[in-house]
Amino acid sequence: MNVPGSEQPREYPDGRPLPDQPTWRQDFPTDVPDDNHVARREFVKFLVLTSGAFVAGQCWIAAASALREKGPLPRLRLATVAELETKRVVEFRYPDEHEPCLALCLAPNDRVPIIKLNAVAHVSNPVSDRFGFIDRSIEWHPERQYIIVSVNANSLWHGPSVIQLPQQPGFPTLDAGQETFNSRLVAPTRVGLGVN
Amino acid sequence: MPAEMEFFVDPHRCIGCHACEHACAECETHKGNSMIHIEYVERSTSVQTVPVVCMHCHSPTCADVCPADAIKRSADGRVMTARKPRCIGCSNCVLACPFGVPKMMTELELMMKCDMCFDRTSTGRKPMCATVCPSEALFFGTREEVEQRRKRSRPTNEFRFGDQTVTTKVNMMVPRGRTESHLDVTAALHEKPTGGLISLNVLTAAPVPVGGAS
């Protein structure tokens, strides 16, 4: 006994074979093997197009990065160390408006660390709160050349360091290493001296 | 090479017992709904019934008219139930099928039809309806078996609907003596059934109430 599994060719109302049928019949075949063929073809199209789009995007990013690195970083005068008192904050954006930063002076005559706020943008937090928690919970480790900004329990972000420095000559380099920070740092919404 | 199993429908042998419907509904692959139904030819004058099962056309009109590309035909020629993710429940297939087979299951928003018990026949078993049919009006076997068992009839799979000729995977048994290569369904619609007629008493006056009530 043989189960009815043998190939049975599709017939069309006009009697012509599939290659002679209108395009819509070839694109939407009713036979499962032909439909699978079309599905595989469409999937390959999707893969090729999306992969091409990713490659083009990566090339565009690389090209844009290469062009951007050619130019010198702008110089920005924030304040002198003398102007910064202990636990005073200078809020600024560097190198452009989309890169919010804080300059802190935690001890007199200390070097000025730079905190780059680029991880969490939670704009609903009031600025005073932001400065407040910095005042309350910031830890300064001059011997280790980095700071830890830890905040209260309902932190919104947990992960590797959010502390990065813009590559600007004249500022000390902070090495956060692989330290983990709990932070709900928010992007500053105004530029100026933040004194609380 | 072993002979291929085929499906044969012999309406002349149908006794209208509905066993096929109940057996089909037992199958869980279509959620208790029967994919076969019994049609009464001329119920007022005849007891003749016909089992209506999907004929699995070689050029399935239901699939051609489906706007959602939901009805597919397997490699061995079975026209399957509409694919659930695609079927939009438009009932185009129900209206277009020349044999009146597809059923629109409104509660499922899905067209369902006979797939010749794909789960059973693909493993060498007979379809449920053919298994239970007591008169073998639904027969699943080899062509040689049919030739041996049906001396007075022969199978045909060519049907004529007006100018449209439809060939099918399922065979219909016709009188062996007839020489036509096809079955003219449209012409048969206007034929009165012969044989097996019954006479019904038609009342011409209001019946007398039982019990002699005034």
Shortest CA distance from B7: residue in chain A? A4
A30:B64 CB<8 A: yes
Distance from CA of A53 to the nearest CA of B (A): 29
Tokens matching residue B15: 């006794």
* Beta strand pairing call for B6-9 and B164-175: parallel
Q: Could you give the 3-state DSSP secondary structure of residue B12? A: helix
Shortest CA distance from A7: residue in chain B? B76
Look at the alpha carbons of A131, A136, A137, A142 in this order and tell me if their dihedral is positive or negative.
positive
Distance from CA of B23 to the nearest CA of A (A): 21
Q: Would you state the pLDDT for residue A87?
A: 52
What is the mean predicted confidence (pLDDT) over B169-185? Answer: 87
Q: Does A82 touch chain B (CB under 8 A)?
A: no
The predicted-structure confidence for A58-100, as pLDDT tens digits, reads as follows 999 999 888 876 666 666 676 665 665 555 566 666 667 776 6
Edge-to-edge strand ranges of the sheet holding B153-161? B138-141, B6-9, B164-175, B153-161, B183-184
Least confident of A113-127, B71-85, B123-137: A113-127
Closest CA to A116 of A137, A147, A75, A141: A147
For residue A2, the chain B residues in CB contact (below 8 A) are 1-5
B77:A4 CB<8 A: yes
Mean pLDDT, chain A, rounded, equals 59
DSSP of A126-185: -HHHHHHHHHHHEEEETTTTEEEE---SS-SEEEE--------TTSPPP--TT-EEEE--
SS3 readout for B52-65: ECCCCECCCHHHHH
Q: Would you state the pLDDT for residue B197?
A: 59
Closest CA to B2 of B101, B141, B194: B141
Residue B72: pLDDT band (50, 70, 90) is: very high
Report which secondary-structure segment, H or E, holds B81: none
Share of chain A above pLDDT 70, in %: 33
Q: Does A3 touch chain B (CB under 8 A)?
A: yes
Which of 111-130 (B) contact A at CB < 8 A?
116, 121-124
Share of chain A above pLDDT 90, in %: 14
What is the mean predicted confidence (pLDDT) over B107-112? Answer: 89
Share of chain B above pLDDT 90, in %: 57
Q: Would you state the pLDDT for residue B126?
A: 93
Q: Does B5 touch chain A (CB under 8 A)?
A: yes
Which of A7, A12, A13 lies nearest to residue B75, judging by beta carbons?
A7
CA pair distance B74, A53, nearest whole angstrom:
36
Residue A173: pLDDT band (50, 70, 90) is: very low
User: Quick check: A180 pLDDT over 70?
Assistant: no
For residue A9, the chain B residues in CB contact (below 8 A) are 58
Closest CA to A162 of A120, A99, A103: A120
Mean pLDDT, chain B, rounded, equals 87
DSSP of B150-180: -TTEEEEEEEEETTEEEEEEEEEEEETT---
Closest CA to B172 of B184, B187, B156, B189: B156
* pLDDT: which is higher, A71 or B76: B76
Shortest CA distance from B141: residue in chain A? A1
For residue B4, the chain A residues in CB contact (below 8 A) are 2, 4, 6
How close are the terminal C-alpha atoms of chain B, in Å? 79
Residue A142: pLDDT band (50, 70, 90) is: very low
Q: Would you state the pLDDT for residue B50?
A: 92
Q: Would you state the pLDDT for residue A124?
A: 28
User: Quick check: B140 pLDDT over 70?
Assistant: yes
Shortest CA distance from A10: residue in chain B? B58
Q: Would you state the pLDDT for residue A132?
A: 36
A3:B60 CB<8 A: no
Among A45-54, B107-116, B171-180, which range has the highest average pLDDT?
A: A45-54
Q: Would you state the pLDDT for residue A11?
A: 81
Residue B187: pLDDT band (50, 70, 90) is: confident
Shortest CA distance from B145: residue in chain A? A1
Q: Is B26 exposed, middle or buried (0-12, 13-18, 19+ CB in 10 A)?
A: exposed
A5:B72 CB<8 A: no
* pLDDT: which is higher, B108 or A92: B108
Q: Does the N-terminal peptide bond of residue A100 adopt cis geometry, omega within 30 degrees of 0?
A: no
Q: Does A5 touch chain B (CB under 8 A)?
A: yes
Distance from CA of B14 to the nearest CA of A (A): 24
Q: Would you state the pLDDT for residue A10?
A: 82
* pLDDT: which is higher, A104 or B128: B128
Shortest CA distance from A1: residue in chain B? B2
Closest CA to B78 of B104, B112, B113, B116: B116
Q: Could you give the 3-state DSSP secondary structure of residue A23? A: helix
Q: Would you state the pLDDT for residue B94?
A: 94
User: Quick check: A101 pLDDT over 80?
Assistant: no
CA pair distance A92, A73, nearest whole angstrom:
15
Rounded to two decimals, the pTM is 0.62
At residue A196, what is the residue type? N
User: Quick check: B204 pLDDT over 80?
Assistant: no
For residue B76, the chain A residues in CB contact (below 8 A) are 4-8
Let me know: does B113 contact B81? Beta carbons within 8 Å.
yes
Q: Could you give the 3-state DSSP secondary structure of residue A32? A: helix
What is the mean predicted confidence (pLDDT) over A94-114? Answer: 58
Q: Does A32 touch chain B (CB under 8 A)?
A: yes
A4:B64 CB<8 A: no
Give the distance, in angstroms, between the CA of residue B3 and the centroid of all CA atoms in the same chain: 24
User: Quick check: B195 pLDDT over 70?
Assistant: no
Q: Would you state the pLDDT for residue B189?
A: 75
User: Quick check: B64 pLDDT over 70?
Assistant: yes
Residue with tokens 């070097």: A111
What does residue B66 show for φ and ψ, rounded to 5 degrees? -70, 120
**Distances from the Cα of A139 to the Cα of A103, A142, A144, A148, angstroms:** 14, 10, 11, 5
B124:A5 CB<8 A: no
User: Quick check: B105 pLDDT over 50?
Assistant: yes
Q: Would you state the pLDDT for residue B101?
A: 92
User: Quick check: A176 pLDDT over 60?
Assistant: no
Shortest CA distance from A34: residue in chain B? B75
Q: Does B74 touch chain A (CB under 8 A)?
A: yes
